[in-house]
Amino acid sequence: MAQLSIKIDDNLKEQAELIFGALGLNISTAFDIFVRQTVREGGIPFYSETNLKILRQSIKDANDGKLTTHELIED
């Protein structure tokens, strides 16, 4: 098994330890979960609340018939 050494802001580490501890995890296990999910998804597995808000609004606009159509430009 590989061993990593990372640098992280002390305050950020403390905050993360509190959150992970409440979930029954330590930082090492949480990082392992993050890396495994990154490999599964082929990229960083974060979702953005801002992007979700935009997506939800776009879906609402589409359902309300507020769509904009564009001509397809072919090369």
Residue scoring higher pLDDT (7 or 67): 7
Predicted local confidence at residue 31, as pLDDT: 95
Residue 10: partners with Cβ closer than 8 Å, 6 or more residues away: none
For residue range 25-74, what is the model confidence (pLDDT) as tens digits?
A: 999 999 999 999 999 989 888 777 887 888 889 889 989 998 877 787 77
CA distance 27 to 35: 12
Task: Please report the DSSP string for 4-26 in residue order.
Answer: ------HHHHHHHHHHHHHTT--
Give me the mean pLDDT over the 9-15 stretch: 97
> Residue 24 above 90 pLDDT?
yes
Residue scoring higher pLDDT (10 or 73): 10
Using N-to-C axis directions, what is the helix angle for 10-22 and 27-41, rounded to 10°? 90
